[in-house]
């Protein structure tokens, strides 16, 4: 299962490509989790069900953010320890991350299930959408712990030198989800419950595959027993705190997407009702592909940057960063052009022309797609600062992008530009973030030159 990878000496372009291709494919398969649900729910159940799933989406983005936070934090710390020859310490780090995050998500899942109906209303559900939203959450929340294990396991398996197996974990989970979606929704007629249960079973299989690898097949990183003495538990908490600090921007990045959905749902339902939310949900279903590709580029660069940062090789760090930025920009421009040219085809995947949401989405997606170009730069910038242990800076950038600038966009643009202003709120947040990143980059260059 282990691929031929040497983070410290292999040619940067070759190393980046070896990590990028399977990582992108794995991320695309992850995006299929979300997209296939949208297609089957929209075609098999209707636009109200599509809107209901989008209402609940911020909750699951938060759960994904927790997984990414511990995955990034553990991966950065373990990468640096591996570069220093400390394999046992690196294995302890990933074990602590998986165990603690699993415990945390189990507690949060129990609370969400207990307060499920108030939670659905808090997320913005109307009375019309409430039964569908509650039913979807009831069949997905209990299985979120496997989603956490899958998210964190991807980082650990790639760091162990097996990006192809990491891709297969996502691929198997996604393919199973597609097959079960069709069976549960179209053959058995289980409706929105079937969509949620199909995704849950897919995540269970993917999570178990990552655990099996780390327990039986890994070469460098292994799950190990956590000692329960007071001294060991205090050390674990210290390590968890440091990993959380490094990965907090990854959590905020996912939370910012949740914030985008949360604010967007409220603004759209206020201006355009349930049809507006259904139209916005199509953009939110399409968005994960963009996010996953950029995230794959950042995650492919991360172990290379972290390892060589820990080994004291700044030139290899710089080359990796520049290569990641170029790759992300090419993808961003391509995604924007694709969105403009194929917006009707994209919307047709989810709903047909008989729904009022169809025209709303077709008119809005090109505006929304403008942000894809700037998002590319922002994701790489955030990932870079995470990788060189500058978690505070990465967190500030992510907070500005996902909360401050997003709030400005959603509340300032609609009164001025009307409906297009709602769609342009996210692109404005991405543009302002790009300006901020360039500003601090130029400031750092000025300080170095002095």
- How distant, in Å, are the alpha carbons of 66, 236, 437 from that of 102? 10, 15, 33
In the three-class reduction of DSSP (H, G, I as helix; E, B as strand; rest coil), residue 49 is classed as helix
Whether 359 maps to a domain, the answer reads yes
**Domain end marker among 175, 194, 226:** 226
Both 56 and 134 in one domain: the answer is yes
Both 159 and 262 in one domain: the answer is no
Quick one: average pLDDT of 40-67? 81
Whether 243 maps to a domain, the answer reads no
Residue 16: which pLDDT band, with cuts at 50, 70 and 90?
A: confident
pLDDT at 205: 94
Whether 169 maps to a domain, the answer reads yes
Both 217 and 307 in one domain: the answer is no
pLDDT at 145: 92
DSSP code for 313: -
Both 261 and 194 in one domain: the answer is no
pLDDT at 450: 54
Report field, pTM of the whole predicted structure over 0.85:
no
Quick one: average pLDDT of 161-190? 86
Question: Is a pLDDT exceeding 70 seen at residue 54?
Answer: yes
- Per-range mean pLDDT, top range of 29-43, 412-426, 432-446: 412-426
Residue 1: which pLDDT band, with cuts at 50, 70 and 90?
A: very low
Whether 117 maps to a domain, the answer reads yes
pLDDT at 447: 58
Whether 6 maps to a domain, the answer reads no
Both 214 and 264 in one domain: the answer is no
pLDDT at 157: 86
What is the domain extent for residue 395? 249-449
Both 304 and 198 in one domain: the answer is no
**Burial degree of 219 (CB within 10 A; 0-12, 13-18, 19+):** exposed
From the CB of residue 199, how many other CB atoms can be counted at a distance below 10 Å? 26
> Encoding tokens for residue 14?
């070759």
**How far is residue 398's CA from residue 380's CA, in Å, rounded to a whole number?**
12
- How distant, in Å, are the alpha carbons of 91, 223, 275, 288, 349 from that of 345? 46, 45, 19, 17, 7
Whether 109 maps to a domain, the answer reads yes
Residue 445: which pLDDT band, with cuts at 50, 70 and 90?
A: low
Both 267 and 217 in one domain: the answer is no
Quick one: average pLDDT of 396-412? 86
Residue 432: which pLDDT band, with cuts at 50, 70 and 90?
A: very high
From the CB of residue 340, how many other CB atoms can be counted at a distance below 10 Å? 13
Per-residue pLDDT reduced to its tens digit, 28-39: 766 666 677 777
> Residue 69's closest CA among 77, 58, 81?
77
Quick one: average pLDDT of 217-235? 79
Question: Is a pLDDT exceeding 80 seen at residue 47?
Answer: no
Q: Specify the number of domains making up the chain.
A: 2
pLDDT at 201: 93
State percent of the chain over pLDDT 90: 13
Whether 231 maps to a domain, the answer reads no
Both 169 and 293 in one domain: the answer is no
Question: Is a pLDDT exceeding 90 seen at residue 428?
Answer: yes
**Domain end marker among 192, 226, 260:** 226
Both 133 and 198 in one domain: the answer is yes
Whether 235 maps to a domain, the answer reads no
Q: Which residue has the higher pLDDT, 248 or 324?
A: 324
Both 182 and 296 in one domain: the answer is no
Question: Is a pLDDT exceeding 70 seen at residue 315?
Answer: yes
Per-residue pLDDT reduced to its tens digit, 406-419: 889 888 898 888 88
Both 60 and 113 in one domain: the answer is yes
**How far is residue 33's CA from residue 63's CA, in Å, rounded to a whole number?**
15
Both 82 and 45 in one domain: the answer is yes
Quick one: average pLDDT of 91-99? 86
């Amino acid at each position: 299962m282990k691929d031929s990878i040497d983070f410290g000496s292999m040619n940067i372009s070759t190393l980046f490509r070896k990590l990028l291709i399977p990582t992108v494919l794995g991320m695309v398969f992850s995006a299929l989790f979300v997209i296939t649900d949208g297609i089957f729910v929209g075609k098999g159940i209707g636009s109200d069900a599509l809107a209901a799933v989008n209402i609940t989406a911020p909750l699951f983005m938060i759960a994904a953010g927790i997984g990414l936070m511990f995955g990034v934090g553990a991966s950065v710390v373990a990468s640096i320890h591996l570069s220093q020859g400390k394999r046992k310490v690196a294995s302890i780090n990933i074990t602590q991350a998986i165990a603690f995050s699993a415990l945390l998500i189990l507690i949060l899942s129990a609370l969400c299930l207990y307060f499920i109906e108030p939670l659905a209303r808090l997320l913005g559900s109307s009375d019309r959408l409430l039964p569908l939203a509650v039913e979807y959450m009831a069949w997905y929340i209990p299985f979120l712990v496997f989603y956490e294990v899958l998210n964190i396991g991807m980082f650990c398996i790639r760091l162990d030198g097996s990006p192809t197996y990491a891709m297969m974990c996502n691929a198997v989970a996604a393919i199973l989800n597609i097959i079960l979606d069709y069976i549960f929704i179209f053959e058995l007629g289980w409706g929105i419950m079937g969509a949620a249960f199909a995704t849950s079973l897919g995540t269970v299989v993917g999570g178990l595959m990552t655990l099996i690898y780390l327990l039986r097949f890994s070469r460098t990183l292994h799950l190990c027993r956590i000692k329960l003495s007071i001294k060991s538990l205090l050390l674990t908490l210290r390590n968890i705190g440091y990993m959380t600090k490094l990965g907090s921007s990854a959590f905020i990045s996912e939370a910012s997407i949740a914030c985008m959905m949360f604010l967007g749902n409220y603004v759209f339902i206020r201006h355009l009702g349930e049809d507006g939310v259904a139209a916005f949900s199509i953009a939110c279903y399409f968005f994960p592909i963009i996010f996953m590709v950029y995230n794959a580029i950042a995650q492919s660069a991360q172990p290379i940057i972290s390892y060589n940062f820990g080994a004291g090789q700044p030139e290899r760090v710089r080359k990796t960063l520049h290569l990641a930025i170029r790759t992300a920009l090419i993808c961003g421009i391509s995604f924007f052009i694709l969105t403009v040219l194929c917006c009707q085809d994209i919307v047709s995947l989810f709903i047909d022309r008989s729904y009022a949401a169809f025209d709303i989405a077709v008119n809005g997606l090109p505006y929304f797609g403008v942000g894809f170009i700037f998002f590319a730069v922002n994701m790489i910038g955030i990932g870079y600062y995470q990788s060189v242990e500058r978690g505070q800076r990465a967190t500030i950038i992510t907070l500005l992008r996902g909360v401050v600038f997003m709030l400005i966009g959603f509340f300032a643009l609609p009164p001025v530009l009307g409906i297009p202003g709602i769609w342009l709120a996210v692109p404005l947040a991405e543009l302002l973030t790009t300006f901020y990143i360039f500003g601090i980059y130029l400031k750092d260059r000025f300080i170095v030159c002095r």
